[in-house]
Every structure is written in C-alpha cells, then in structure tokens.
Amino acid sequence: MGGRRIVVLGGSYLQADFVETAIEAGYAVHVLDMNPNCYVAGDARIQFAPINIKDVEAVARYLAQHPAEAVVAPVSEVGNITAAKLAPRFGFRYNDESAVTLTTNKARMRACLQGCGLQEPRTMLFTSVEEAERRVGYPLVVKPPVNSSSRGISIVRCRSELEQALAYCAPHCEPGESPLVEEYLTGAQYSLQVLSTEGRHRLLMIIRQWLSPEPYSVERIGVVDPDENIRLWAEAEQFAVQVLDALGVRVGVSHIEARYGASGFRVIEVGSRSGGLRARLLKYADGADYNRLMLQSYLGVPVEEGSIQPPRRFGAMCWMQTEADLALCNTFAARELVAEKYLNGKPPVPNPRTLMDAVGYFFVGTGERGPVEDLVAQCEWISSR
C-alpha cells in the first residue's frame, strides 16, 4: 500500500465507514483490534494488526514502527483514551488527555461544567441512601462515574428502587469507586453531533432520541427531523460551544447527550469521540459528510465554507435488541422502507439493559416524514417514557 498512513483504533462495523472514507481519500490505512476476526480484518486494502487497543504500550510500539499522520478512534472509548495518552509522544493531533478524562469521567465532567457556569443537575457520589434523598431527591439516576453504552444506569423513583439500582450499578464501577447519583432531567432527549477543528466547534446534526422503558436508559431510536434541526440549530450550537470549550475539546467529532426543556439544553453526558452509526444517519438525512469532516479535523485541514448545513431530509435508525424490534424491521422491509440493516448474530433479549444488548440495527432512509413518524408510533414502549 502506498500513500500517507492513518492508524485506526478499532475494527468493528462501527469503525468500518471511517476506514472506507480514509481509503477513498488515498491513505494507507492500518487498523488495530484485538479480535483477529473483526469486521474489517479481512479487507485486503488495509493493513491489520491484532493488537489490544487498551494496551497503550503495545499500540505505542506499533506506532513507533509505523509512523502515522493521524491516529483516530471512531466510536471507541477505549481507543479514545489510548490515543489521547499517545498523542504527545508521537505528535499527532488529538484532544489532550485531560479533556478526554473529563468526557469519560462523569463526576469530573459535572464539576468542570458547574465551575464554568453551566446549569447542572444536582449530583453527588453516593455515600448513603439518606444523603442521596436529601441532596438529590427523587426521581434520580444512578450510574457509574466511568462507563458508556448505558451500562449500569438506572432511573429511580423511590427508596426500594434506589437499593436495586445501586446493586445493579456496583459491578460496573471501578474497584473502590462509588456510583454517581444525579437529578433526573426531564424534557425531550437529543444527541448533538459536533465537529471541532483547531478548537472551533460546528454543529453537524441534532438527533431526537427515544429510550427504553424504565428503569433502564438505553437508546432505541434516533430520528433526524430537518424542521426541528433548523428550529433548534442556533441554540444547540451555542450550547455545544459552551460545553466543549469548558471541557477543553479541540479536535474530532464529539457527541453531547442532552435534555431540552423550558431552561434550554442541559447536559446528560459528553463523548469526545464520534457516536455509533451517526455518519450513516447523517447520510440518509442528507447532511454534511461526517466521516470526511472528521478525517480532515484530525489532519488539521480547514473546514470548507458551505460544507456544513443542517440535514435536509428525515432519517431514522433503530437499534434492534428484542424480538419485537426484529419483527418491526421485517414489517418495514416488507413495505420497502428499510434502507439498510445489519445483524451481528447475537440472540434478542426480552429486557435490554445496555447498548451491548443490541443484535443489530436498521435505517429508515426514504427521506420523508411519514415513515419516520410511523416507526416511532409503532414502538408501543415509547409511551411509557
């Protein structure tokens, strides 16, 4: 393989689109993943190495032997942390380790945002049931300070549920780490996808999210509504700039999960890395070229004027986790409304607790309002949210 080199940390289907973008841009792409049979491992156009991307020194040894113009960790939180640790040593563009730590440690993130004047929910590291009730109050959320994919998260409305939530959360916490207890924010939930280039932040897309029934909090459906994007665009971008500046994010694509109510947007969590399958959703919604812009950001290429506009069409994706989700996909496929689907071979589960329970996904990509609204309407569990 010729051309300049880019190293991608992670080789699952979640990184595949970015890998394709880098190949099409003419780069020699190297992919590191501990699974020798991962999704992209057999692609003859890349150089693959079976390396655990959590092993910082193993990745460092590879980079020493294969100098790269950029190191990118799309979607992967583990890869994001590793890349941030190695960027000063090898000189590639990446967010500082301090910024990545703030976006992976929710307790530190809350303290930072509050210190920068953003309106934050009542929050504490758990000490006792009585203290949680006094300082936070019901309803509340229990979550691990450091984790992703909705692991260990529960919504709590009374003391008996709090005790169950603490027991569920404990295995997902680091040894000696206390669960985080937060005020439960109300309002519609959104995911803001934001591009950062040399410290300047630009909104790419606003996704309306629908979650699983309580007590768990798992994303099930994401919808892009072009009218809603236009209506909220300026406010969402201003909010994203405040959040990412406070956390020190300067490069790449980030996602901010937030609730929107009478007081505007309020942060649920922030990821200083791209979100899963967001590039495809933005493509179906006729928006900006997510992966190309992300690649250019890590290469230090300025954003072209006019290359970022709000999405112009409707788009939706559904994470399939249950038998009902699979049946819903088949129903929409029979109506020729499914633009694409993927099954990972896992069996469906009756009561999803995390995104790791996903058995696949499908996209509704006609671009029209009707099928997207129909998708939401047919998910009966949404009404319980």
Q: Are residues 179 and 197 in the same domain?
A: no
Task: Report how many domains make up the chain.
Answer: 3
Classify residue 104: in a domain, yes or no: no
pLDDT tens figures, 191-235: 999 999 999 999 999 999 999 888 988 889 999 999 999 999 999
Q: Are residues 143 and 52 in the same domain?
A: no
| Whether the predicted pLDDT of 381 surpasses 80 | no
Classify residue 103: in a domain, yes or no: no
Residue indicated by tokens 């999405």 = 311
Q: Are residues 348 and 331 in the same domain?
A: yes
Q: Are residues 156 and 302 in the same domain?
A: no
CA-closest candidate to residue 259, choices 156, 141, 370, 376: 141
Q: Which amino acid is at 165?
A: A
Q: Are residues 173 and 234 in the same domain?
A: no
Q: Are residues 218 and 326 in the same domain?
A: yes
CATH number at residue 256: 3.30.470.20
Q: Read off the pLDDT of each residue in 112-132 and give the average, rounded to a whole number.
A: 94
CA distance 298 to 360: 29
Enter the pTM of the model.
0.94
- Going from the C-alpha of 93 to that of each of 54, 72, 85, 233, the distances in angstroms are 19, 9, 12, 28
Classify residue 343: in a domain, yes or no: yes
Q: Are residues 131 and 274 in the same domain?
A: no
Classify residue 100: in a domain, yes or no: no
Q: Are residues 201 and 274 in the same domain?
A: yes
Classify residue 113: in a domain, yes or no: no
pLDDT tens figures, 285-337: 999 999 999 999 999 999 988 889 999 999 999 999 999 999 999 999 999 99
CA-closest candidate to residue 320, choices 374, 279, 262, 361: 361
CATH number at residue 171: 3.30.1490.20
Q: Are residues 212 and 249 in the same domain?
A: yes
Classify residue 163: in a domain, yes or no: yes
Q: Are 311 and 287 contacting, i.e. CB atoms less than 8 angstroms apart?
A: yes
| Whether the predicted pLDDT of 3 surpasses 60 | no
**Final residue in a domain of this structure, among 75, 94, 113:** 94
CA-closest candidate to residue 137, choices 159, 113, 169: 159
- Going from the C-alpha of 204 to that of each of 19, 226, 309, 340, the distances in angstroms are 20, 12, 7, 22
pLDDT tens figures, 4-26: 999 999 999 999 999 999 999 99
pLDDT tier at 2 (50, 70, 90 boundaries)? very low
CA distance 381 to 319: 14
Q: Are residues 216 and 253 in the same domain?
A: yes
pLDDT tier at 149 (50, 70, 90 boundaries)? low
| Full residue range of the structural domain in which residue 132 is found | 122-183
Q: Are residues 237 and 274 in the same domain?
A: yes
Classify residue 50: in a domain, yes or no: yes
Classify residue 159: in a domain, yes or no: yes
pLDDT tens figures, 30-72: 999 999 999 999 999 999 999 999 999 999 999 999 999 999 9
| Whether the predicted pLDDT of 1 surpasses 80 | no
Q: Are residues 201 and 323 in the same domain?
A: yes
- Going from the C-alpha of 289 to that of each of 283, 308, 371, 378, the distances in angstroms are 7, 8, 24, 30
pLDDT tens figures, 69-86: 999 999 999 999 999 999
CA distance 192 to 190: 6
**Final residue in a domain of this structure, among 135, 152, 183:** 183
CATH number at residue 88: 3.40.50.20
User: Mean pLDDT across the chain, nearest whole number?
Assistant: 94
**Final residue in a domain of this structure, among 94, 110, 133:** 94
